[in-house]
Every structure is written in C-alpha cells, then in structure tokens.
Amino acid sequence: MSKNISPVSEPHGGSYTTDVVIIGAGPVGLFAVFELGLLDLECHLVDILDRPGGQCAELYPEKPIYDIPGIPVVSGQELTDNLLQQIKPFAAKYSLGEMAVALQKTDDDLWQVKTDMGTSITAKAVVIAAGGGSFQPKKPPIPDIDDFEGSSVFYSVRQMEKFKDKDLLIAGGGDSALDWTLALLPLARSLTLVHRRPNFRAAPDSVSKIRALVDAGDMEMIVGQVSALQGQGGQLDQVKIKTKTGEVIRKIDCLLPFFGLTMKLGPVAEFGLNLHENLIPVDTEKFETSTPGIFAIGDINFYPGKLKLILSGFHEAALMSQQVFRICRPDEKLRFQYTTASTDLQKKLGVR
Amino acid sequence: MSEQKQIILHVTDQQGKVHELIALDGWRAMEVIRDYGLPVKAECGGACSCATCHVYVDDDWADKLIAPDEDEEDMLDEAFEVQENSRLSCQILMSEDLSGLRLKLAPGSEPDTTD
Ligand SMILES: Cc1cc2nc3c(=O)[nH]c(=O)nc-3n(C[C@H](O)[C@H](O)[C@H](O)COP(=O)(O)OP(=O)(O)OC[C@H]3O[C@@H](n4cnc5c(N)ncnc54)[C@H](O)[C@@H]3O)c2cc1C
Ligand code: FES
C-alpha cells in the first residue's frame, strides 16, 4: 500500500481544542479514532514517534501478524497503513514527534495535555493508548552519563547548529548513527564514529560514503565501545573507548549515542493515575481509569484477564467510545448502529 | 517410565544472584528466564528486534551453542557492553544438549522501572 496516507503533524507548540485527545498513535490509538469518529467525536493524537503505528511500525514492521480477526496475515506496517486508511474520513489531528508530559484539569472542567514541544491540547476526554510506554532512545549504561545529558550528551539532534565547530563522537552502527555522521561532519570540527564491529547494519550507500570519508582522512572510525566519560559541570572533556587492543582516549565536546529505541512508561507515570505494576487499572465496561473522563486502552491498561493483543485493544476502543460520547455529548442520545446498514454511518465514512 | 532428563539453565541476574531454572525443550532461553519472573526486559518478545534480552554466555559453553546468525549480530549493535560471548537469549533454543548452560543477564536487559 502507498505510504502517502502518512498523516501530517500539526505545527509544534500550538494550542488546540478537540473532543478527545489520544495519547499514543499505536494500532489501538488509531482504531479509537475510528470508533470515536463513528460517534462524531473529533480526535487529536499525540505520539513521540514521528509516525503512527506504535510497536507494529517501530518493532516489527515487516513481521507477519496472524491473529487479526478476518485478516489471515498482515505485516505490522500493513496493519498500520490499513488503519490509517480506515480512519482517514475522520480527519484526526496529529502531534507527532512530541511526548505528552503533563495532564491537568482546566478551570472549566476540561482536560489539558501538554507536550515537551510546548503544544497544548484541550479536550473533553482523554484516552491513554500509550502501549508499552513512549519510545525513547536507549541510554548507554556508562557511569555518570546522566550528569552530561542535555549539555554534552545528546540522544537526538534538534538543532544542527549546536554542533558547529565541535569535536563530536557518534556511537552506534545503525542508520541513525550513520545518517547523523554524514549530516554533522560538514559542520563539526572533528568527528569520530565508534562502533563495536567493522560491519554496519545500515543503508549500503551510507556505509560506503562513511568508508570513503574515513579513507580520505576526513573523519575517524574506531572499532570499540565508549566505556567512560570525563568532564566537569556537565561539559565533556574526554571519553575512554574500549577496543580489542586496549583503551583509547579522545578529547571531545559532545557524545551522540544511537542505539535504537526502547519503551519507557515515562511521564504517564506522573499523570496522577493509579498504577498497577506500570499499568493503568480500568473497569471492563467503559475502560475508564479511577479518574472519570480519563480512559486507558490497549497494552497500557490492566484488568483481570487482560491479554496484550491488538484485538483486545480494538474491543476496548469500541466500548470506551460509548462512555466518551456520554461525556462529550451529554444532551444527545447514543444510538447503536451497524456500518453495514446505517446510511448515517456510511455518510461519515464517505462511502455514500 | 520416561527417561527424559531435566534441562537445567543457570542464570546470573543483574545483581549477581545465580538462579537455577528448569528449561523446556524447544523453549528459548529468554522465555525460560521470563517465565521464572527474573528481570529481563525482552521487549520484542523474541522477535530479534530489541536487544533487551542480551546475555553473556559462560566461556565453557561458548563453543557448544549454534553461532549467532546475521540478524542476531546486527541486533547486538543495539546492545551495550557487547563482548565476544554476547548473545541474545531469545535466539538460544534450549535442548537436552544445553542442559547446564550458564548465562548472565547483561546491562540493558533490566526491565523498565518507575522511579
Ligand atoms: C515482536 C512483536 C510481535 C507481536 N505480535 C503480535 C501479534 O501477532 N498479535 C497481536 O495481537 N499482538 C502482537 N504484539 C503486541 C502488539 O504489538 C501490541 O499489543 C500493540 O502494539 C498494542 O498497541 P497499543 O496501541 O496499545 O500500544 P503501542 O503499539 O505500544 O503504541 C503506543 C504508542 O504510544 C506512544 N506513547 C506512549 N507514551 C507516550 C507519551 N507520554 N507521549 C507520546 N507518545 C506516547 C508510544 O510512542 C507508542 O507509539 C506483538 C508485539 C511485538 C513486540
Ligand atoms: S527479546 Fe527482543 S531481541 Fe530478544
């Protein structure tokens, strides 16, 4: 399926109003847009990833899933693309590449979600579809690394200018490590790439470019692993690199480790909700948390008998939507309808 | 009477405590470790796509395991403090031949905690 259904993200830092804000654009958050959309409720999704699909898109885009009812086999990416196609008529808004960091009640009894990019979304109800947590860069277990984060150690590049005329060390051997090496080299004073082995798992084109740059003496490549950091007041001075033949030291200003992503519950833990072993307990009628107006569906929730399956999350989305409708449209009557039979629903889906 | 011999798996956790586990034939080492409730993140559930089941194999056992394939080598790039004896425990299939195997959970394999 074509990739052009990939949604466009709203500008960072804006203020938005909607019916329902959904934290997490994994398969379950996406399907929630569908169920809420059938009830004429507008949604705004937030995800730290720069594209929707959650675990399906990030952890196993190519792997086949066999237990989606009615679909004998579908890959993680295909399922994501299909869901995007399915919810397209509802024109949900997306804030991608943003982490929801705070959730508060407003004076007029609405909910406000704030992100790390300064975006604020006000809604009548909140659906937490945060799955296994937000995907965040893996942190190398190097002693004292915390002391340097944000000042000398960076897990992502938000402004390239920051690295101008600096001595940089990039650690890792995947596409992110190599892409950033190629992008930052022209700016940096010097650049050293440190990877545990001479081979890379990355686009062959980037690999050959890097090899040529190393051969030309434009950058250095060390086969090894960063083992210690030295510096003061958050400012790195030098790093130790363990190699097969011993330790080498490089004087650097900044370290950029790229070791892929891992899921961390993150700020959801600070939303003031009850937690049960990092999961959010809900009832099984409405999938509402102990805080009225806040719902939790998909892998993030907990109830007796819970199975972390996509199909369970889909069911939860349908039931959750009923209660969210009552909250958002207290004066309207909820009507049960089939998509096969209802001309009203078919109009919403744009098939009539 | 069945002559099936128990398959033993020794696992040293991140705190250095040694656990003796009974493995089932055909199970992945990661699954055995997780089944016993030991701290292993194993985020991708054995799909060789997270490296959060990284272990060190005891030197005595290094040669007895089937060597890692290319996917596993590639994925080890996302692990930390990788050594010669590093493996992804989800790629080790337990069998009678491996009874007595000794593994140590590597840094980065610990589950997420709320702190
Ligand atoms: C290798 C593998 C194979 C699997 N195979 C199957 C299978 O065959 N069948 C099946 O049913 N299930 C399978 N699963 C499980 C399935 O992928 C999950 O059940 C499903 O992804 C859960 O969907 P979700 O939308 O609840 O959460 P997720 O997919 O985890 O998505 C949650 C999203 O929320 C975002 N997020 C979280 N917190 C924040 C925050 N504070 N701010 C911004 N964004 C945030 C995350 O970045 C993420 O994108 C498999 C899982 C894996 C890893
Ligand atoms: S469990 Fe993810 S790579 Fe082994």
| Superfamily name and number for A15-136+262-348 | FAD/NAD(P)-binding domain (3.50.50.60)
Domains with residue ranges and CATH for chain B: 7-105 (3.10.20.30)
Query: Coil, strand, or helix at residue A13?
Result: coil
Residues belonging to chain A: 352
Strand partners for B28: B93
pLDDT of the residue at B5: 82
Nearest by CB: A260 against B78, B81, B107: B78
Q: Which residue type sits at B90?
A: C
Q: What would the mean pLDDT of A97-101 be, rounded to a whole number? A: 96
Looking at the CA of A263, which ligand is closest? 1
Residues of chain B with C-beta less than 8 angstroms from the C-beta of A59: 43-44, 47, 49-50
Residues of chain B with C-beta less than 8 angstroms from the C-beta of A196: 76-77, 82
B3–A contact, CB cutoff 8 A: no
pLDDT band at A1 (very low <50, low <70, confident <90, very high): very low
Return the minimum-mean-pLDDT range out of A4-18, A30-44, A87-101, A201-215. A4-18
Mean pLDDT by runs of 10 across the 115 residues of chain B is 80 97 96 96 91 96 93 96 96 96 96 67
- Say what percent of chain A tops pLDDT 70: 99
Cα nearest neighbour of A134 on chain B: B112
Contact A280, A112 (CB under 8 A): no
| Main-chain dihedrals φ then ψ at residue A181, nearest 5 degrees | -60, -50
Chains A & B: contacts with CB separation below 8 Å: 60
A199–B contact, CB cutoff 8 A: yes
Handedness of CA A64, A68, A74, A75 (dihedral sign): negative
Q: What would the mean pLDDT of A302-331 be, rounded to a whole number? A: 97
- Residue A205 neighbours by CB under 8 Å, 6+ apart: none
Rg (CA), chain A: 23
CATH class of A139-259: alpha beta
Contact A105, A21 (CB under 8 A): no
Strand partners for A37: none
The neighbour count for residue A327, using CB atoms within 10 Å, is 17
Give the angle subtended at the CA of A204 by the CAs of B50 and B71, to the nearest 5°.
30
Residues of chain B with C-beta less than 8 angstroms from the C-beta of A259: 77-80
Closest CA to A183 of A206, A204, A203, A153: A206
Contact A226, A169 (CB under 8 A): yes
A27 within ligand 1 shell (Cβ under 6 A): yes
Report the C-alpha gap between B110 and B103 in whole angstroms.
14
| pLDDT tens track for A56-77 | 998 888 889 999 999 999 999 9
pLDDT of the residue at A298: 98
pLDDT of the residue at A2: 43
Residues belonging to chain B: 115
- The C-alpha of A58 sits at a distance from chain B's nearest C-alpha, in angstroms, of 9
Residues of chain A with C-beta less than 8 angstroms from the C-beta of B52: 262
- Average pLDDT of chain A to the nearest whole number: 95
B92 within ligand 2 shell (Cβ under 6 A): no
Distances (CA, A) of B9 to A121, B43, B61, B84: 51, 21, 12, 20
Q: What would the mean pLDDT of A138-148 be, rounded to a whole number? A: 95
Give yes or no for residue A6 having a pLDDT over 70.
yes
| pLDDT tens track for A153-178 | 999 998 899 999 999 999 999 999 99
Contact A282, A273 (CB under 8 A): no
pLDDT of the residue at B2: 55
Report the C-alpha gap between A159 and A157 in whole angstroms.
6
With DSSP H G I counted as helix, E B as strand and the rest as coil, what are the percentages for chain A, rounded to 5?
A: 25, 30, 45
Give yes or no for residue A206 having a pLDDT over 70.
yes
Query: Coil, strand, or helix at residue A346?
Result: helix
Give yes or no for residue A200 having a pLDDT over 70.
yes
pLDDT of the residue at A188: 97
User: ipTM of this predicted complex?
Assistant: 0.90
Report the C-alpha gap between A259 and B79 in whole angstroms.
7
- The C-alpha of A275 sits at a distance from chain B's nearest C-alpha, in angstroms, of 10
A133 within ligand 1 shell (Cβ under 6 A): yes
Q: What would the mean pLDDT of A117-133 be, rounded to a whole number? A: 97
pLDDT band at A134 (very low <50, low <70, confident <90, very high): confident
Cβ–Cβ of B79/A259 closer than 8 Å?
Answer: yes
Report the C-alpha gap between A278 and A207 in whole angstroms.
40
Contact A289, A280 (CB under 8 A): yes
Give yes or no for residue A5 having a pLDDT over 80.
no
| Domain residue spans of chain A | 15-136+262-348, 139-259
Q: What would the mean pLDDT of A304-324 be, rounded to a whole number? A: 97
Q: What would the mean pLDDT of A122-133 be, rounded to a whole number? A: 96
